[in-house]
Structure 1
Amino acid sequence: MTRHARMLEPARWGSLELPNRTYMPPMGTHTANADGTISDAGVAYLVARARGGIGLLITESIQTQDVYDLPTGSTISLTHDRHVAPLRDAVTEVHRAGGLISANLTPGLGRIMPAGPDGGAPFSASDCPTLMDPSVRCRALSLEQVEDILDRFRAATRRALECGFDGIDLHGHTGYLTDQFLSAAWNTRTDRFGGDVRGRATFATEMIRIVREEGGADFPLSMRISVRQGFPGGRTPEEARELAVVLQDAGLDVLLVDAGSYEAIDHAFPSYYMGDGVYLPDAEVVKPVLRIPVAVNGNLTPDLAEQALADGTADFVGFGRMVIADPDLVRKVAEGRPEQVRPCIRCNEMCIGNVVAGKALGCSVNPEAAQEATRVLLPTPVVRKVTVIGGGPAGLEAARVAAERGHTVDLYERGTRLGGVLEPAATPEFKRELHRMVDWWEVEMARLGVQVHLDHEVAADAPEVTGADAVVVATGSTPWAPPVPGADGLSAVQVLDFHRGAHVGPRVVVCGGGLSGADAALELALAGHDVTIVEADPQIASDMVVHNRVALLRRLAEVGARVLTGHRVTAIRDDAVVCEGPDGPVELTADTALLAFGVRPDRALPDALADGPATYVVGDCVQPSKVGDAVHAGYAAGAAI
């Protein structure tokens, strides 16, 4: 019997019978066509997750009006009749794949947009500050404009029903237009759409009434709200409970809960710094006062989801980025293969980061995400002997893909463990998902028959190279430090050596505020060390996706780590680190100088090998970059052999 029995049991989402208690919450993909119709990529993305066994798919937010917002580009719409046929076909394909699907409908973005459709200030529930520039006030929607938005929502609801969706989900969280009506921070109206909690909920309850009138009393209807908005003056737990009851009594079947807003963006898109089950406390706030089921997501694992269901914290559990990383998550768990679930590392880089940048969704650990229509691994017509040199993320992914296609693969790693820099970098508890990623690759190597050779250095003229039909070189990078006096002294420790167990003293100056240095600083501060980060640039972790960077800075502040930007390390002594800043030299007392200046490509083996069509050089030995870049490069190499 599976240890996830509760998660896998059938359950009712209103009148809709789900095969299990899992759902995929709404997540933007930016894969739609320019005219707002769903694309082939968008359909394939949904179908892959339907085949993977998720109980209910909820689409990304579908626009119901295009009059009061700037076009966002590459988002699905139901604003015109031309949008219906492609979406109807998508729903049919999801049903064919054995899935159920609900349409997430959004009436607008409001103050989140930089401007309105005419170039003026954006429209909102009231003349509240805009997100991008609080000195600019939104234009308050007139009563006639609000009624017009609701009329357009009704037309879009009719189109959604025509598409054959199994349910409708209302987009009411994270500070978008519906939430702007719901929240006292943004809604100061004095008409029927303002006032107390019940009055501010009128816009949402009107949408509920419209769906009930158009779809019928039993048509499955859900809505997601932010229980904690995460900023001063935002929603309180008491208000969230009152609001939840109002929405339930208006006719909701299921309430989805999360937290955050664009003012607290790290809560809205929780990174690895936030830990597991970040929205479970929000479910606990509203669950006791409701008769209808509560659904929750947010950094859940299958085990934690099962526990939340067993404890009665929630009735449905959502997997968002986890099913971007592995669309077959539920099926693998149901078949008793949870160790084969590819973990989400919660980096937010290619999923949320891409979408916020206006690009199509991707995934750092799943190069096929949102490209299922075009990235298909076909069996190789000719089996080749493949040598992969380097057991970091690029080499592991290249070996996995080549073996998946049917090649005979040997992987050589000069260290005693797989994972490359991921293995030592994952020592802090908040980065344990990286360990799980390495564990997953190890399971895949065994499943696919890849021969793994640890503690095995490979030379350019070795038989492992000369006897192979194809060679993938993924030798990674080496630490780099500027010519600073004392950088080779006893008090100086390389950041990777620290992760591997090298001793550091109670007072640590981290030399370099990139991602590795900042994460090491947080780990040390959490362990009780006195920590200062020194960075020459104006800010630390400058290349980190903003959602994670906000969380990182907040955590560093919470643990008392000091950050000294605009300063260059000029010398390292046994008892201090000397820096040069805009106001002159600064001396920082330190027992240990943790060197996190960066890395350089390890080019020794690539440069010794002759270039050829059967040699693929990938990962940090080409250009040091992020995990996702290495994984994607490894995937491309394995697919090309």
Structure 2
Amino acid sequence: MYKLLSPAMIGPIQLKNRVIFPSMCLYFSDQDGNVTDKLYTFVERRAQVGVAGFIIPANPHGTNKPNRASIADDSRISQWRRLTDMVHRYDSRVFCQLHPSGIQFGRVGFSKNPLEHTAEEVQFLIESYAQGALRAKKAGFDGVEIHGAHGHEVALFLSSLINQRTDQYGGDLAGHARLVTEMIKKIKNYAGQDFPVILRISGEERLPGGRQMAETIELCRLVEAAGADAIHVSVGMPDSEQWECPSSDIPQGHIAWMGEMLKKNLQIPVIIVGRIVDWTVAEEIIETEKADFVTVGRALLAEPDWMKSIGCPEQDLIRHCIGCNQGCRNKRGKKKSPCTCLQNPMLGQEELVEIKKDETIKKVCIIGAGVAGLEAADVMSQRGHQVTVFEKEKELGGIFRWASVPPGKKDYLNLLRYFEKVLTRRGVKFVFDHQINELPGGFDIYLLAVGGREIIPALENNGAALYRAIDLLSGIREADGDSFVVVGDGLVGYETVDFLIAKGKKVIMVGDNPEDPLARLGIARWRFMEERFQKGEIRIIRDALVISLGTDSFTIKNKNGETEEIPGRYTYVLACGYGANEDLYHQAQDPDQEVYLIGSAKVAGDAMDAIHDAFRTALGIVVK
């Protein structure tokens, strides 16, 4: 048996295996912090396949932020009881993370600094957490987790960098730990000595002058002595958020070494997080005793059946998180809307949507094997239809395949491997190297997923070498030359620059996209990319357009209409992105043909936009 599937203890509580779903900001509660069917169904779907433990955040006090769960008063107990009873029916365990809503250092909305609390206010804080733990016990939770990581209020007291108090809750290491140690003792006093308490802590803050592992070990020793039953180690603070939820730039299991250090210095179990995607990585962490438990977060968002991957010889039948952060961090964070996932459109609506087989089988033609076409084929084949996908290239994937080429994105190919394996097994027929100029006959339903049309700006070219970004990324053209000008500063532009810098090229990027790269790429992806940019030779010219190219110079025009000629011999790359592409759709004028335009062909956007549009469209087709 795999060690990952062996039972283990947290305090007196036995978990049937070593896999725990960690606390995440899913925003699956309602505006008032109530437990919803959305949250219930999400947890049940993963308990059904064997996840041993769940850590679910709830606010122990104060005004609740929208869509964040609460356990701040006794009226919440019964609604949580329904969820905890369900988890126990699947022989799984569930812990409540005491997670204050909206109190996080360095984030928008941060109001009063907890470090400015009077001694009496600190005692209120300790009492509030203890009361929250008692309510959690009454609601059927198997234990609680104190969130002492990522800049939340408890983390501020633990941080010798941030906590400059001079009273008993600051000063030396014991003072920094005192808030937590007193919380643990009071929780045990209220809820019982046998009620498990976990501390989540950032092993390293990854800030200049911030805490490192040697100090974290000493803090955890004090916490263990106070009665903690486990340590859940993470990494980072808001100003180093790229490490809290790293993108695919960072290898899997990247902080397992922190767990190993803690295990060598503690007697209580250690839980490790940190981009654990493949079950083999989780197994290695447990087998080599780097941790007692692993928390699998984003991988269980992308694939509810992740537990079925353990020992499975056909890994491509399981979705693998690609570390894009698009639905679970970037877009969710901007809107504070329910968490979703680039490759799993069901996430966030599992209580509402079920794909069922239709009674009448139709012949479905999908034109384009990019991610929108593949998602449409996925839905329509699940509905039981005969699906044929036509693709002009020799392989599936569209531009998403070449989006996996820039540094840190090779894991994106896992999505294409999944589609290829699953759709082939379902009997979807692929016709490659086949350009479609008019709709073929013999089909009942047509879904046009031809992708966006490349934006080609009007440029005066006086004999300069001019490439398309897609030609470089796909290998059709070699990146000849030492110095490049990338025309366009959107997503395609930045990733083309990243690609060229990795090849040691000097790059100038010019564009007038008003969106900040952090907003465009997401915090994690941008900060790791930014590090690479700082090591390369790059100049970024914003609020300007390239208007002419030459062999010895190029000319730009800024937002004020002023022109500037920049001398030098360059190779030029068009990276201006893609717009809608409706040509084939408008050519389909036969009223007897049922035709749908999907993905980037309909509305310009990113891969997540394309996949989710294809999912909604294919799911919404009424079959008669």
TM over 0.5, shorter chain: yes
Q: CA deviation digits over 1:384-434, x for unaligned, max 9?
A: 111111101111001011111211111111111101111122123511121
| Cα deviation 1:281-328 (Å, max 9, x = unaligned) | 433443432222222222223232223333332222221111111111
CA distance in 2, matches of 1:555, 1:98: 46
Q: CA deviation at 1:242?
A: 1.4
Letter in 2 for 1:49: R
Matches within 5 A, 1:209-608: 209-302=185-278, 303-356=280-333, 357-463=335-441, 467-486=442-461, 491-501=465-475, 502-504=477-479, 505-537=481-513, 541=517, 542-581=519-558, 584-587=563-566, 589-608=568-587
Question: CA shift at 1:228, angstroms?
Answer: 1.7
Instruction: Note closer, same or farther for the CA distance 1:592–1:392 as it changes in structure 2 (3 Å cut).
Output: same
Post-superposition offset of 1:498: 0.4
SS in 1 for 2:375: helix
- Alignment-derived partner of residue 154 in structure 1: 130
Q: 1:472: Cα distance to partner?
A: 0.8
2:60 to 58, 64, 80: 64
- Which residue of the partner structure matches residue 194 of structure 1? 170
1:619 aligns with: 599
- Aligned-pair distance for 1:53? 2.2
Q: 1:634 & 1:537 partners in 2: Cα distance?
A: 27
Higher mean Cα deviation, 333-342 or 432-441? Answer: 333-342
Cα deviation, 1:515-547, whole Å, max 9, x if unaligned, reads: 122112112212222222222235653533344
2:101 equivalent to 1:124? no
Cα–Cα, structure 1 residues 149 and 535, in superposed 2: closer, same or farther, change >3 Å? same
Contact 2:461 2:549 in 1 (8 A): yes
| Contact kept in structure 2, 1:51 and 1:98, CA below 8 Å | no
Deviation of the 1:43 alpha carbon: 0.7
- Taking the aligned partners of 1:435 and 1:113, their CA distance within structure 2 comes to 34
User: Corresponding residue for 2:78?
Assistant: 85
Q: Distance in 1 between matches of 2:227 and 2:331?
A: 36
Q: 1:177 to 1:301 in 2, by over 3 A?
A: same
Letter of the structure 2 residue corresponding to residue 619 of structure 1: G
For residues 4 and 77 of structure 2, what CA distance do their matches in structure 1 show?
33
Q: Out of 512-521 and 293-302, give the one that drifted further.
A: 293-302
Q: Which runs of 5+ in 1 are unaligned?
A: 117-121, 127-139
Are 2:156 and 1:165 aligned?
no
Distance 1:536 1:295 in 2: 46
Q: Residue 525 of structure 1 contacts residue 560 of structure 1 at CA under 8 Å; is this kept in 2?
A: yes
Range with greater deviation from structure 2 (497-506 or 284-293): 284-293
- Distance change >3 Å, CA 416–CA 305, structure 1 → 2: same
Q: Deviation digits for residues 435-473 of structure 1, max 9, x if unmatched?
A: 11000100111221111111122343422xxx2121111
Task: Give the 3 Å change call, closer, same or farther, for CA 110–525 of structure 1 in structure 2.
Answer: closer
Following superposition, the deviation at residue 96 of structure 1 comes to 2.6
What is the CA distance between 1:85 and its match in structure 2? 0.8
| SS of aligned partner of 2:198 | strand
Quote how far apart the aligned CAs of 1:380 are: 1.3
C-alpha distance 429-16 of structure 1, shift in aligned 2 (>3 A) = farther
Query: TM-score, normalising length from structure 1?
Result: 0.90
SS at match of 2:304: coil
* Deviates further, 101-110 or 517-526: 101-110
Specify the SS of the correspondent of 1:198: helix
Change (3 A) 1:330 1:34: same
- Give 3-state SS (helix, strand or coil) of 1:442's partner: helix
Q: How many residue pairs get matched?
A: 612
Instruction: Summarize the Cα distance change of 1:202–1:263 in structure 2 as closer, same or farther, 3 Å threshold.
Output: same
Q: CA deviation at 1:262?
A: 0.9
Between the aligned residues of both structures, percent identity stands at 27
Name the aligned partner's letter for residue 318 of structure 2: V
2:491, 2:382 → 1: CA distance?
A: 32
Contact 2:98–2:147, Cα closer than 8 Å, also in 1: yes
Aligned 8 A contact 2:585 2:595 in 1: no
Q: Contact 2:277/2:321 (CA < 8 Å) preserved in 1?
A: no
| Secondary structure of the corresponding residue to residue 188 of structure 1 | coil
Residues 50, 100 of structure 1: 8 Å contact kept = no
CA contact (8 A) 1:63 1:78 kept: yes
> CA separation of 1:43/1:325 partners in 2, compared to 1, >3 Å: closer, same or farther?
same
**Runs of at least 5 residues in structure 2 that lack an aligned partner in the other structure:** none
Shift in Å at residue 51 of structure 1? Answer: 1.6
The one-letter amino acid paired with 2:608 is G
Give the conservation status (yes or no) of the 8 Å contact 2:18–2:294: yes
- Checking the alignment, whether the CA contact within 8 Å between 1:522 and 1:561 is kept in structure 2 is no
Map of 2:30 onto structure 1: 33
Deviates more, 1:543-552 or 1:382-391: 543-552
Between the aligned partners of 2:76 and 2:498, the Cα distance in structure 1 is 48
Q: Distance in 2 between matches of 1:602 and 1:107?
A: 46
1:342, CA displacement in angstroms? 0.8
Contact kept in structure 2, 1:479 and 1:494, CA below 8 Å: no
Call closer, same or farther: CA 1:590–1:125 in 2, change over 3 Å: farther
C-alpha displacement of 1:19: 2.3
User: Helix, strand or coil: the match of 1:564?
Assistant: strand
For 1:167 and 1:410, the matched residues in 2 are separated by 51
* Aligned mates of 2:257, 2:573 — CA distance in 1: 37
- The CA deviation at 1:214 is 3.0
Larger CA deviation: 534-543 vs 142-151? 534-543
Deviations 1:252-274 (CA, angstroms, capped at 9, x unpaired): 22211121111112122211233
| Cα distance between partner residues in 1 of 2:555 and 2:88 | 65
Q: Which moved more, 1:435-444 or 1:338-347?
A: 338-347
The normalised TM-score by structure 2 is 0.93
CA contact 1:125–1:187 (8 Å) conserved in 2? no
Cα distance in structure 2, aligned partners of 1:638 and 1:270: 32
